[in-house]
């Protein structure tokens, strides 16, 4: 067989061996996303987790760990740092030292730790909007001032407004919170885009926190460029946040990590989390190890399925929802839909009445938009889209 035939055969084998189509009821799985609509005919597509079981190797590892029956405070399994180092090398050509890894129970706590760890009260934390709401909440919670710079659009995609960023940061700006891939706009930033931002970060002596939790879910073929890989002077000021949680659908197991090369930044980060951030979950560690060591075939099949779902959403929005639009989703399983043409201030409320729960854009500083999570079996997605059509038709008739 030629190489490409082998590749096709292998890919087909992958698809046959993983099932993302079966619909599982999540009503009895203590799901945050589903509990809000218990007893109501509403399809929840707001919180960013997926309605798929985690990969087999993770389930097997968890079963084995549960069999041990003892769940004291955890430290990272010995093999885990090596597995993470290998993942960074293979996926992102990033050579990290195991000592740079700081284990955490989540990325959101880390965003808050970063805001607390660096600079003084009243200093500014800068970020680009629309953005995942904890980016907006963390700075004021830690005595810092939030400065937001709207993303701008270029060639049908969102990108950084570099000029505005350069001119609006002030002498008090201390921290830059980046999100790459960017929730909610689905951008996988190109090297040249982050380079321009990082250059300014270096010139203005900012601490850069790069939330890359979605980096293993690239749908457009990639590559994902971790901010810290742009060069030594960038790595020396960057805190990278990652986790297996989105990719392998284990966010309820509370395991994430920061990668911090600079020892001084790392010490300050660890000090700032003392007493408030809990230990990493013992089962989260087990899942994390199994994910990065044995989860790759499942991840590849998942990406393929999510691409299919993304295409279904994109086609549907452009053909069936007049006036609504969305950009290409390069990464994540989140579609950012422009619903401003409906002329309603909170479009998510309208869609909820028609049986689909979406995240309202206002929460992200994107008024008139909605965020739709397509990490679900396709039959559910198709039903939800049909309900959106009825909602839009309803507005047309009103």
Please report how close the Cβ of residue 47 comes to ligand PLP at its closest, in angstroms: 7
For residues 121 and 125, what is the distance between their CA atoms, to the nearest angstrom?
A: 11
Q: What is the number of the residue whose Cβ is closest to ligand PLP?
A: 106
Each residue 93-122 as x (binds ligand PLP by CB under 6 A) or -, in order, gives: -------------xxx--------------
Q: Which is nearer to ligand PLP, 48 or 326 (CB)?
A: 48
Among candidate residues 250, 269, 122, 142, the one with its CA nearest the CA of residue 208: 269
Find all residues with CB under 8 Å of 186, minimum gap 6, and list them: 327, 328, 329, 330, 331, 332, 334, 335, 336
Binding test (CB under 6 A) with ligand PLP, winner from 54, 159, 173, 183: 183
Each residue 31-60 as x (binds ligand PLP by CB under 6 A) or -, in order, gives: -----------------x------------
Binding test (CB under 6 A) with ligand PLP, winner from 225, 243, 258, 283: 243
Q: Give the count of residues interacting with ligand PLP (CB under 6 A).
A: 13
Please report how close the Cβ of residue 354 comes to ligand PLP at its closest, in angstroms: 24
Asked if 136 interacts with ligand PLP (CB under 6 A), we say no
Asked if 384 interacts with ligand PLP (CB under 6 A), we say no
Asked if 251 interacts with ligand PLP (CB under 6 A), we say yes
For residue 8, the 8-state DSSP code is H
Please report how close the Cβ of residue 67 comes to ligand PLP at its closest, in angstroms: 27
Among candidate residues 341, 390, 330, the one with its CA nearest the CA of residue 370: 341
Q: Is 131 helix (H, G, I), strand (E, B) or coil?
A: coil
Please report how close the Cβ of residue 110 comes to ligand PLP at its closest, in angstroms: 8
* CA quadruple 280, 242, 137, 169: dihedral sign: positive
Helices (H) and strands (E) in the chain, counts: 14, 15
146-150 contacts: CB < 8 A, separation 24 or more? 147/173, 148/365, 150/365
For residue 331, the 8-state DSSP code is B
Which stretches of the chain bind ligand PLP, using CB under 6 A? 48, 106-108, 132, 179, 183, 211, 213, 243, 245, 251, 256
């Amino acid at each position: 067989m030629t190489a490409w035939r082998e590749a096709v055969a292998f890919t087909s084998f992958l698809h046959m061996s993983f099932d993302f189509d079966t619909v599982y009821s999540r009503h009895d799985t203590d799901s945050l996303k589903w509990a809000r609509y218990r007893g109501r005919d509403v399809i929840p597509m707001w919180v960013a987790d997926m309605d798929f079981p985690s990969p087999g190797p993770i389930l097997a590892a968890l079963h084995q760990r549960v069999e041990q029956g003892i769940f004291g405070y955890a430290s990272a399994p010995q093999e885990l740092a090596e597995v993470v180092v290998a993942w960074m090398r293979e996926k992102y050509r990033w050579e990290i030292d195991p000592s740079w890894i700081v284990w955490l129970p989540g990325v959101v706590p880390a965003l808050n730790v970063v805001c607390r760890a660096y600079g003084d009260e009243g200093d500014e934390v800068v970020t680009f909007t629309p953005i995942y709401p904890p980016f907006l909440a963390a700075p004021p919670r830690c005595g810092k001032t939030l400065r937001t710079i709207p993303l701008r659009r270029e060639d049908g995609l969102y990108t950084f407004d570099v000029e505005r960023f350069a001119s609006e940061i002030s002498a008090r700006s201390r921290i830059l919170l980046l999100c790459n891939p960017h929730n909610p706009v689905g951008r996988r930033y190109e090297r040249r885009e982050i380079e321009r931002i990082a250059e300014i970060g270096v010139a203005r002596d900012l601490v850069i926190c790069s939330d890359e939790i979605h980096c293993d879910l690239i749908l457009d073929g990639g590559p994902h460029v971790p901010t810290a890989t742009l060069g030594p002077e960038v790595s020396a000021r960057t805190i990278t946040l990652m986790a297996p949680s989105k990719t392998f659908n284990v966010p309820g197991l509370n395991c994430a990590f920061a990668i911090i090369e600079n020892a001084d930044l790392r010490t300050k980060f660890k000090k700032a989390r003392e007493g408030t951030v809990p230990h990493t979950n013992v089962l989260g560690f087990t899942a994390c190890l199994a994910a990065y060591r044995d989860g790759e075939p499942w991840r590849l099949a998942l990406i393929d399925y999510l691409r299919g779902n993304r295409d279904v959403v994109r086609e549907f929005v452009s053909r069936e929802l007049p006036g609504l639009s969305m950009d290409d989703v390069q990464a994540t399983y989140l579609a950012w839909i422009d619903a401003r043409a409906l002329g309603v201030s909170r479009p998510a409320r309208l869609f909820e009445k028609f049986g689909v729960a979406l995240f309202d854009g206002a929460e992200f500083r994107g008024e008139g938009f909605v965020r739709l999570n397509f990490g679900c079996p396709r039959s559910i997605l198709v039903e939800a889209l049909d309900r959106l059509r009825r909602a839009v038709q309803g507005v047309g008739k009103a």
